[in-house]
Structure 1
Amino acid sequence: MNSEDALRIRKLVPLATLPGPLFNDLCNEVTVEEVRDGPLFKRGDTDNHLFYLIDGEVALQADGLVIDVISSAHESSKFALAHQLPRKIDAVAKGVVRFVRLDADRVNNPPQLEYKEEKNMMVVEEDIDEESGDWMTGLLKLPIIQRLPPANLQKVLIALEEVAAGQGEVIIEQGAVGDYFYFLKSGQCAVTRKPTPNSKDIRLAVLEKGEIFGEDALITDAPRTVSVTALTDVMLLRLNKKQFVSLIKAPSLTFVSYEELPALQQDGAAVLDIRSPDEFEKHHIDGAINVPFFSLRMQFKNLNRDKPVVVICRDGRSSEAGAFFLLKNRYKAFILKGGMEAIAEAEQTEEVREQIETTAETLPPLEQEDTFELKEQAVSPEELFQKLKTENEALRRAVRQLNEKCNRLDMEKKQIEDRFVMLSKHFEQLKQMLHKLKNKA
């Protein structure tokens, strides 16, 4: 556990997010392998293993054409080598290479742990190395990052863009359109808000190194509600809105329907209504707690972390931001799909159904010949209602499937673009080599 190899393996992605006991078990089983000028795996292989580079250099190549060279000294070596199955390229050692191979199912699907911070939280046990500036370890400690699938986590770390800001520089401006999600790599920032355009800024919080911010506007598609200003010279890592939504937001948030809510309440889940007090007074779910969204940052610690929280707003949009905030703070949060509007729609649908049934009961009995004619030409109100309900559900499923297909196509497009960039770099290298050969000739 204290060997140099174990410390190296501990920093691999997503092994850095494994809790101590699971990592210990993994170290007891893993073997560091060695190969000289030979293949680690070949194109077309389908064995379900992840290969991680410990020492040396590996060339990733296809049909003899080198696409990239991965060195153990580079940040990219923290990720599994070309993990897609079947393998699309060869991985060949350049000289002596030491590596480990791990079962992909075990790494990607570790045993489920109770969501309790003081006992079994999935955390990285090592402290952040101040001298080496290992910001990745700090990022991997964040609960919202630990929840991501390994493939998403790898894409996030690759896509992060580093930017600097000087003391006093405004990073996020209240009222502006949300464009980026931020991780504070170093320095301090102040979070402020103006209640009215002509009022003074009110400081809400101070952000320290290792914190994330800027997600609310990206989740709700609403203008920025606060300003964030650098208190010192700061270094930031940022992710654009599209990448944040597809890689972090989508896999992090969990929705429940109105029909599923009673069972969660019976199991002890708290219902958190983040609308304004006026809206809450007009209509709310029995047993719900009212904490307006802007007060959530100050009052969330009053919630029981051992129990799940179902977040409710008017239409479900603000609930997404509220649930994301709770997830950042190690709560198990759900979102009521559609918010109070969905509840009102469900209640209205039930009311209409009851009215149809009542009306049908009060209609005078039909003559025998009229009954025969209706059987041939029409259906009962109840059957019509069920038919419309079934068609509506089918349309909803079709929309969900189309959205999922659109997301898959976006991811495939990104993979193709990444491969195009790599091939372009290799093409430039070949051009330079050809130019040198011509000059020598």
Structure 2
Amino acid sequence: MPVNPELFKAFAAFRRLRTEGLAQLAKHAERSRHEAGSWLFRCGERSTQALLLLHGIVQIEDQLGRPIAELRGSTASASDAFGTDSPQLTSARCISDVLCLRIDASLLEITLSWDQSSGVEVAEIGGFGDQDWIFRLLQTRTMQELPSAHLQALFMAMHPLDVRADTRIIEQGASGDYFYVIDEGECRALYERGPDSEPELLARFVGGDCFGEEALISGAPRSATVVASRASRLRRIDRANFLKLLNEPLTRSISLDRALARISKRQALWLDLRADETAPLEHSIRVPAHLLRSRSEQLDPDREYICVCENGFRSRVATFLLQQRGIGAFALEGGFDAAIGAK
């Protein structure tokens, strides 16, 4: 059952939002009913949703189960969203039957912070008329790894690009200028060996997928051509904003000494991105850099990896790619030649 936008006006923080902004929030919110004695969340649980208490009584408890606050619907005690920590630092138990609104925590925070800090609402960000693209992007692992302040600036810096089927979005050999996110549609990455050879299919991208980061991070020419498989809607961000808002917060580097310490304690594995003919590293997994995108699903998401290549450039690209997929990764500073090869 659709959520009535007027329900948000019961909370002071939303009363300044325009009708369009409230409608967008309501579109992505859902009612949630809970019986007395049930738990809304427990300490330590992870969640991407925020809660707004409409009716009922909720008791907030600390890690030892001791009551620390009581929220009552339609009163000042329940005037703000709660349950936004991930992992949760407290637990929430229903004292009575409860009716809540649930909504994506990042979407909620971005909507309110834009309104409060810049006078800009989510519904005003340029695009294709419907702002569902913001909500879809917030569901991707890449965006969930970013702090809210970066998300706000990132969405403001993104520009829409509508392309027809067979449009060549990126040309192999060209310099890197933009990073792309697919809003709707499908694209394919091709490696073109020459005019007399059929291009090799490297990857397919669909809604929520990103591409174009390698040349922006490494400074090297584009390594593949990307073509729209059908009419598609994209968002793109220029190199300067990409490096500042996406690459820097998602790409972590590590010194050789710290890397060796983590390897020796079995806290991480080497992810060797070099060509197959090079001698393997101890405690390593070999995935040549050009195959990482297609083979990343074979990596254990519960393990941490230290990426190593010859000079460090591809390691930074790999770290960004793995962080996008929710896999913990570091780039070895200087790469193999400067760090390990010099030992």
Fold-level similarity (TM above 0.5): yes
Q: For 1:403-418, list aligned pairs within 5 A.
A: none
Q: 1:169 to 1:255 in 2, by over 3 A?
A: same
- Residue 203 of structure 2 aligns with an amino acid whose one-letter code is A
The percent identity for this pair of structures is 28
Shift of 1:248: 0.6
Which one has a larger percent helix, Structure 1 or Structure 2? 1
Letter in 2 for 1:150: S
3-state SS of paired residue (1:275): coil
Give, in angstroms, the shift of residue 172 of structure 1: 0.6
Structure 1 residue aligned with 2:276: 277
Aligned residue runs from structure 1 range 38-437, under 5 A? 77-83=111-117, 134-196=132-194, 198-265=196-263, 266-278=265-277, 280-281=278-279, 284-344=280-340, 347=343
Equivalent pair of 1:11/1:78 in contact (CA under 8 Å): no
What does the per-residue CA deviation read over 1:203-242, in whole Å, with 9 as the maximum and x for residues that have no partner? 1222112211111111111111111111111111100000
Q: Which residue of 2 aligns with 1:372?
A: none
Cα distance 1:344–1:307, how it changes in 2: closer, same or farther (>3 A)?
closer
Q: Which structure: larger Rg?
A: 1
TM-score, normalization: structure 2?
A: 0.65
Question: Equivalent of 2:50, from 11, 16, 23?
Answer: 23
Per-residue Cα deviation, 1:336-392 (whole angstroms, up to 9, x for no partner): 111112324652xxxxxxxxxxxxxxxxxxxxxxxxxxxxxxxxxxxxxxxxxxxxx
Tell me the distance in 1 between the aligned counterparts of 2:48 and 2:146: 20
User: Is the 8 Å Cα contact of residues 333 and 339 (structure 2) preserved in structure 1?
Assistant: no
CA drift of 1:268 comes to: 3.6
Does structure 2 retain, via aligned residues, the 8 Å contact 1:181–1:212?
yes
**Structure (1 or 2) with the greater strand fraction:** 2
Structure 2 CA distance for aligned equivalents of residues 136 and 161 of structure 1: 12
What runs of 5+ residues in structure 1 fail to find an aligned partner? 13-17, 34-75, 84-88, 92-130, 348-441
* CA distance, structure 1, for counterparts of residue 326 and residue 218 of structure 2: 21
TM-score by length of 1: 0.52
Distance in 2, matches of 1:197 and 1:313, equals 31
The structure-2 alpha-carbon separation of the partners of 1:344 and 1:162, relative to structure 1 and needing over 3 Å to count, comes to same
- Following TM superposition, by how much is the alpha carbon of 1:197 offset from its aligned partner in structure 2, in angstroms? 5.9
Looking at structure 1, the residues matched to 224 and 205 of structure 2 have their Cα atoms a distance apart, in angstroms, of 13
Q: Which residue identity is paired with 1:79?
A: S
Residues 274 and 343 of structure 1: CA distance in aligned 2, closer, same or farther (over 3 Å): same
Gaps of 5+ in 2: 12-23, 30-44, 59-70, 72-76, 81-109, 120-128
Q: Helix, strand or coil for the counterpart of 1:236?
A: strand
CA deviations over 1:50-91 (Å, ceiling 9, x no partner): xxxxxxxxxxxxxxxxxxxxxxxxxx84534444xxxxx9x9
CA distance in 1, matches of 2:297, 2:324: 12
Amino acid at match of 1:20: S
Query: What's the secondary structure of 2:135's corresponding residue?
Result: helix
1:8 and 2:42 correspond = no
Higher relative contact order (CA 8 A, sep 6+): 2
Output the CA distance in 1 between the equivalents of 2:139 and 2:178: 21
Give the Cα separation in 1 of the matches to 2:226 and 2:216: 15
Matches of 2:180 and 2:197, distance apart in 1: 27
